Amino acid sequence: MSKFIFKTNEEIEIIRASCEILARTHGEIAKNVKAGVTTKQLNKVAEEFIRDNGGIPSFLNFNGFPYTLCISLNDQVVHGFPSGYQLRDGDIVSIDCGVIFNRYFSDSAYTYAIGEILPENQRLLTVTKECLNLAIEKAVVGNRIGDISFAVQNHAENAGFGVVRELVGHGVGTMVHEKPEVPNYGKRGSGLKLEEGMVLAIEPMINGGKAAVKFWDDGWTVSTRDKSPSAHFEHTVAIRKGKADVLSSFEYIEEVLNK
């Protein structure tokens, strides 16, 4: 990771524009997420939509990653490859996407339920999204990174879930990952002080079972060791006084899901 870089308001507005393309891309994906679709088809939808709207897929070719989307099924945590697998009722599927617009990056992820899922898995999705929202409440000037981290860990572990340690949130700017790291576990009041000009990807990765993960020999896919399901929700957020400025959005996804 590079040195930590503060963003001007002008830069934050470009990141917001990048996030808008990303949010609308997620909305297009949401229209297609259903039983029977292959995860490669979802990747194609996303790549075409991003390029048609003036963006560049930021994950594609990043350190050799071969796709626009990371699609992680069930016990996969993050960085799964799109494939010929057809989604089926009962699956949970995490879809992570990033866009480059006018040199600036955006990063956001959402976990979907396909058809009827186990109540325990639904609870995992609900709690992981709550973790993200609680973390965003802490993403304000005067707090520290550890306040964000603690908010995620505390809520997830109180629900009996495992918090992934090996992968973390990060700064967002002109690279896929910038400093600082934003862990999903930690102590209140610890770590770097949050200031205006910081733009962070906050991304709880929460396992239905234990926290431990394994790294596949494809070089990318991460899954739970105990084969429990895993969920991932992510927003790109600008630090402000009083209330965080959430630059990415699930609005277009939820419009589709609430129809």
Nearest to 39 by CA among 66, 71, 11, 17: 71
**Nearest to Mg ion of 109, 114 (CB atom):** 109
Contact set for Mg ion, span 114-143 (CB under 5 A): none
- Which span sits near Mg ion by CB under 5 A: 80-88, 106-114, 144-152, 219-227? 106-114
Of 52, 108, 50, 96, nearest to 249 by C-alpha is 108
Q: Which stretch binds Mg ion (CB under 5 A): 49-57, 179-187, 195-203, 249-257?
A: 195-203
Instruction: Choose which of 109, 114, 125, 127 interacts with Mg ion (CB under 5 A).
Output: 109
**CB closer to Mg ion, 201 vs 222:** 201
CB 210 within 8 A of CB 179: no
Site string for Mg ion, 39-78 (x = CB under 5 A): ----------------------------------------
Cα–Cα distance for residue pair 67/79, rounded to 1 Å: 10
Between 78 and 117, name the residue whose CB sits nearer to Mg ion.
78
CB 203 within 8 A of CB 232: yes
**Least distance to Mg ion, CB of residue 167, Å:** 9
Told to check if 178 binds Mg ion by CB under 5 A, we report no
Binding string, 86-105, against Mg ion, x = CB under 5 A?
Answer: ----------x---------
Task: Report whether 253 contacts 110 (CB < 8 A).
Answer: yes
- Concatenating the DSSP letter of every residue in 131-191 gives HHHHHHHT-BTT-BHHHHHHHHHHHHHHTTPEEP-S--EEE-SSSSSEEEEE-SS--TT-S
Segment lying near Mg ion (by CB under 5 A), choices 37-45, 80-88, 159-167, 193-201: 193-201
Residue whose CB is less far from Mg ion, 96 or 130 = 96
201-230 binders of Mg ion (CB under 5 A): 201
Radius of gyration in angstroms for the set of CA atoms belonging to the chain, rounded to a whole number: 17
Q: Is the peptide bond before 82 cis (omega within 30 degrees of 0)?
A: no
Smallest distance, Mg ion to C-beta of residue 158, A: 24
- State phi, psi for 133 to the nearest 5 degrees: -65, -40
Beta bridge partners of 135: none
| C-beta closer to Mg ion: residue 226 or 245 | 245
Residue from 47, 107, 147, 178 touching Mg ion (CB under 5 A): that is: 107
Binding residues with Mg ion: total (CB under 5 A): 5
| Residues of the shown chain interacting with Mg ion in the complex, contacts defined by CB under 5 A | 96, 107, 109, 201, 234
